[in-house]
């Protein structure tokens, strides 16, 4: 029986499915229907201790496993993920709400992370200099760091854990995952497939729960590093507490992503891309487009196009054919979003498309239709805060200078995109904008396994980003050896 079908989810420790020793649970909902689909244990400090101790013991053997042998397990895992692609995507849609098409795309991103990690033998090679001085040579060797704790958000149940554990285990570490308590189902399926791929017991572990599990990992002496992805206040807290406990921490945080549309842009493309980026995954993406700075001269035309495209969006259960916009994650998140829409009206922004009145939002589940505000300014809460829902703000600007100046006022700096055909404008944008991920004529500069991914400013706390070479560096430490052969 798969773990995804049981009522109270189990933790996965040392290759065994075990009950949490806490009897506290939380309900897991299908956000498209409001139905309870599982209960997730709110695990205790003792559960964390057991998982970390197990991971620590397993580390002693796993770090000695030759790197190509570790990679071979990941190759097998990759094939299993491909074989189960549709099933995994369906679990994502049921627990998160995003459309099946988007869920399949998310599974693809996760698979790419596994593919990248399977390159560990080349990625973790050292470097040598045969003559650093007369008769002396030096070289650098790379080693794992120990037990890594991973703490993940609700919005990418497959992709975000896959930013972490494939690379961490490929480089010889062992891993304890604390998935989001709002989308905990997929993690258990990932663990089952890891087991099928032949991963030794105790290398990958899951402890379900909430704050106590996070604090347990942050405080545990045998946890060497923490990879966190989630909202800004929690990222800041995790970074401070983790480093206070002398751990290596990367904390990817909240966002408010800006797109700039210049008058020479292909407006059809810009409107299509921004519609997808703002309303896809119900705006619950750290790379979602949430503000557009558009040049005044084309603003009216561009906004008409956006409204036209938003009106074509099909709202509903993500499992349904052609559905583009699914629900937001919880009733409380829907209420918070509706509050923001009211705030925007009170602040004097011009509500040009009201997602509260779409007929398809009246069904069971937590639906909000595509919502667009015009004439938004930087002093408004709807401009400043991460709403994390299908709400798009438009600010009218004189030119590129004004757009960059406006964008750089944000405390967040995850992603930014420009729409133009002008190479000089692209260069100016690249050189002056504050953001970690830039896009040119695309709506979502999505994270790719092969490149480092993260933001600047309050969108990231730490040093080494997720993925790519940064990921390798984060999950390894180095020894330099200098030798005289006598
Ligand atoms: P969240 O911060 O509520 O939760 C993230 C994780 O932290 C969860 O596992 C949760 O259990 C835990 N947590 C929550 N509150 C805590 C607390 N007070 N103490 C200890 N642990 C706590 O985030 P979310 O709502 O699940 O996810 C959405 C957020 O994640 C958005 O802000 C989004 O921008 C961000 N995000 C960022 C990236 C990125 O790459 N920068 C990627 C995906 C999501």
In 3D space, the residue among 179, 206, 293 whose CA is nearest the CA of residue 19 turns out to be: 206
CA of 400 to the centre of ligand 1 (A): 33
Residue 7: predicted pLDDT: 80
Please report the atom of ligand 1 found closest to the CA of residue 414.
41
Going by alpha carbons, the residue nearest to atom 17 of ligand 1 is 211
Contact 177, 183 (CB under 8 A): no
CA of 291 to the centre of ligand 1 (A): 21
Q: Does any ligand 1 atom lie closer than 6 A to the CB of residue 326?
A: no
Q: Does any ligand 1 atom lie closer than 6 A to the CB of residue 281?
A: no
405 labeled binding residue: no
**Sign of the four-CA dihedral 171, 176, 180, 184:** positive
Contact 327, 333 (CB under 8 A): no
Going by alpha carbons, the residue nearest to atom 35 of ligand 1 is 230
Which tokens hold the place of 108?
């693809």
Going by alpha carbons, the residue nearest to atom 43 of ligand 1 is 286
Q: Does any ligand 1 atom lie closer than 6 A to the CB of residue 230?
A: yes
CA of 229 to the centre of ligand 1 (A): 6
Q: Kindly indicate the confidence band of residue 308, based on its pLDDT and cuts at 50, 70 and 90.
A: very high
Q: Kindly indicate the confidence band of residue 145, based on its pLDDT and cuts at 50, 70 and 90.
A: very high
Q: Rounded mean pLDDT of 26-40?
A: 98
In 3D space, the residue among 450, 483, 486, 484 whose CA is nearest the CA of residue 141 turns out to be: 483
Q: Kindly indicate the confidence band of residue 1, based on its pLDDT and cuts at 50, 70 and 90.
A: very low
Q: Does any ligand 1 atom lie closer than 6 A to the CB of residue 218?
A: no
Render 105-157 in DSSP notation, one character per residue: HHHHHHHHHHHHHTTHHHHT--EEEEEEETTEEEEEEEEE-SEEEEE--SS-T
Q: Does any ligand 1 atom lie closer than 6 A to the CB of residue 282?
A: no
Asked whether residue 210 carries a pLDDT value surpassing 90, the answer given is yes
- Which residues contact residue 365 at a Cβ distance below 8 angstroms, ignoring those fewer than 6 apart? 30, 31, 32, 33, 34, 97, 317, 327
Going by alpha carbons, the residue nearest to atom 19 of ligand 1 is 211
Residue listed under structure tokens 């969006």 = 313
CA of 254 to the centre of ligand 1 (A): 8
Going by alpha carbons, the residue nearest to atom 31 of ligand 1 is 231
CA of 330 to the centre of ligand 1 (A): 14
Q: What are phi and psi of 53, to 5 degrees?
A: -60, -45
Q: Rounded mean pLDDT of 64-84?
A: 98
Asked whether residue 3 carries a pLDDT value surpassing 70, the answer given is no
Rounded to whole angstroms, the Cα distance separating 318 from 328 reads 11
pLDDT tens-digit map of 115-132: 999 999 999 999 999 999
Which tokens hold the place of 247?
């751990």
Q: Rounded mean pLDDT of 415-426?
A: 98
CA of 19 to the centre of ligand 1 (A): 25
H-helix or E-strand containing 37?
A: strand 35-41
Mutate to test the pocket of ligand 1, among 234, 235, 436, 471 (most ligand atoms within 8 A of CB): 234
Q: Does any ligand 1 atom lie closer than 6 A to the CB of residue 40?
A: no
Q: Kindly indicate the confidence band of residue 48, based on its pLDDT and cuts at 50, 70 and 90.
A: very high
Please report the atom of ligand 1 found closest to the CA of residue 255.
34
Asked whether residue 436 carries a pLDDT value surpassing 60, the answer given is yes
Q: Does any ligand 1 atom lie closer than 6 A to the CB of residue 155?
A: yes
Q: Does any ligand 1 atom lie closer than 6 A to the CB of residue 229?
A: yes
Rounded to whole angstroms, the Cα distance separating 417 from 328 reads 24
Rounded to whole angstroms, the Cα distance separating 240 from 350 reads 39
Residues pairing with 486 in the sheet: none
Contact 199, 169 (CB under 8 A): yes
CA of 238 to the centre of ligand 1 (A): 10
Rounded to whole angstroms, the Cα distance separating 157 from 179 reads 8
CA of 252 to the centre of ligand 1 (A): 9
182 labeled binding residue: yes
72 labeled binding residue: no
Q: Does any ligand 1 atom lie closer than 6 A to the CB of residue 252?
A: yes
Going by alpha carbons, the residue nearest to atom 23 of ligand 1 is 230
Q: Does any ligand 1 atom lie closer than 6 A to the CB of residue 290?
A: no
Asked whether residue 2 carries a pLDDT value surpassing 70, the answer given is no
Contact 215, 31 (CB under 8 A): no
Rounded to whole angstroms, the Cα distance separating 73 from 221 reads 29
Going by alpha carbons, the residue nearest to atom 20 of ligand 1 is 211
- Which residues contact residue 266 at a Cβ distance below 8 angstroms, ignoring those fewer than 6 apart? 419, 421, 441
Residue listed under structure tokens 């299509």 = 272
Strands 35-41 and 25-30: antiparallel
Query: What b/e sequence results for 389-411 when a residue is b if at least 16 CB atoms lie within 10 Å of its CB, and e otherwise?
Result: bbbbbbbbbeebebbbebbeebe
Active site residue 286: yes
Residue 92: predicted pLDDT: 98
Render 391-423 in DSSP notation, one character per residue: EEEEEEESSHHHHHHHHTTSSEESEEEEE-S-H
Which tokens hold the place of 95?
């627990």
Rounded to whole angstroms, the Cα distance separating 275 from 29 reads 27
Q: Does any ligand 1 atom lie closer than 6 A to the CB of residue 178?
A: yes
Rounded to whole angstroms, the Cα distance separating 179 from 192 reads 15
For the chain, the C-alpha Rg in angstroms (whole number) is 23
Residue listed under structure tokens 């037990």 = 147
Q: Kindly indicate the confidence band of residue 6, based on its pLDDT and cuts at 50, 70 and 90.
A: low
Q: Kindly indicate the confidence band of residue 4, based on its pLDDT and cuts at 50, 70 and 90.
A: very low
Mean pLDDT of the chain: 97
Side by side, the strands of the sheet bearing 437-440 are 350-353, 371-374, 391-397, 289-295, 257-261, 415-419, 437-440
Q: Rounded mean pLDDT of 356-381?
A: 97
Q: Vertex 475, ends 472 and 479: CA angle to 5°?
A: 85
Which tokens hold the place of 20?
């949490």
Q: Rounded mean pLDDT of 201-227?
A: 98
Q: Which of 255, 286, 291, 413 is catalytic?
A: 286
Cα 474–chain centre separation: 17
Higher pLDDT, 5 or 131: 131
Residue 5: predicted pLDDT: 52
């Amino acid at each position: 029986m798969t773990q995804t079908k049981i009522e109270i989810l189990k933790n996965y420790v040392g290759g065994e499915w075990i009950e949490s020793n806490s009897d506290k649970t939380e309900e897991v909902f299908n956000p498209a229907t409001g139905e309870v689909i599982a209960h997730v244990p709110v695990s205790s400090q003792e559960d964390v201790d057991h998982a970390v101790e197990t991971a620590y013991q397993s580390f002693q053997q796993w770090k000695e496993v030759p790197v190509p042998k570790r990679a071979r397990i990941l190759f097998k895992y990759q094939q299993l993920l491909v074989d189960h692609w549709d099933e995994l995507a369906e679990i994502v849609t049921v627990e998160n709400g995003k459309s099946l098409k988007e869920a399949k795309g998310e599974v693809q991103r996760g698979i790419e992370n596994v593919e990248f990690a399977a390159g560990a033998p080349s990625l973790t090679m050292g470097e040598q200099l045969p003559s650093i001085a007369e008769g002396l040579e030096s070289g650098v060797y790379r080693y794992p760091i120990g037990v890594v704790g991973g703490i993940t958000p609700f919005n990418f149940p497959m992709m975000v854990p896959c930013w972490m554990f494939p690379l961490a285990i490929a480089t010889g570490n062992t891993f304890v995952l604390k998935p989001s308590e709002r989308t905990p189902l997929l993690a258990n399926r990932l663990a089952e497939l890891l087991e099928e791929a032949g991963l030794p017991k105790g290398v990958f572990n899951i402890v379900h729960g909430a704050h106590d599990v996070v604090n347990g990992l942050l405080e545990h002496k045998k946890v060497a590093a923490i990879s966190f992805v989630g909202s800004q206040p929690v990222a800041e807290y995790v970074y401070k507490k983790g480093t206070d406990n002398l751990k290596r921490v990367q904390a990817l945080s909240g966002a408010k992503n800006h797109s700039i549309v210049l008058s020479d842009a292909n407006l059809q493309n810009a409107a299509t891309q921004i519609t997808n980026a703002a309303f896809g995954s119900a705006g619950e993406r750290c790379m979602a487009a949430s503000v557009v700075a558009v040049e005044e001269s084309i603003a009216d035309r561009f906004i008409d196009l956006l409204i036209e495209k938003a009106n074509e969006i099909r709202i509903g259960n993500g499992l349904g054919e052609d559905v583009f916009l699914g629900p937001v994650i919880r009733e409380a998140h829907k209420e918070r979003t509706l509050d923001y829409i009211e705030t925007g009206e009170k602040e004097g922004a011009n509500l040009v498309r009201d997602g509260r009145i779409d007929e398809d939002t009246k069904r069971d589940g937590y639906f909000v239709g595509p919502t667009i505000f015009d004439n938004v300014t930087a002093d408004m809460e709807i401009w400043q805060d991460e709403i994390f829902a299908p709400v798009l703000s438009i600010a009218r600007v004189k030119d590129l200078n004004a757009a960059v100046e406006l964008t750089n006022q944000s405390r967040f700096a995850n992603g930014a995109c420009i729409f133009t055909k002008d190479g000089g404008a692209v260069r100016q944008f690249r050189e002056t904008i504050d953001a970690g991920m830039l896009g040119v004529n695309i709506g979502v500069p999505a994270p790719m396994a092969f490149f480092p991914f993260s933001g600047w400013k309050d969108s990231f706390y730490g040093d080494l980003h997720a993925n790519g070479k940064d990921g390798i560096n984060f999950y390894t430490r180095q020894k330099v050896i200098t030798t005289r052969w006598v």
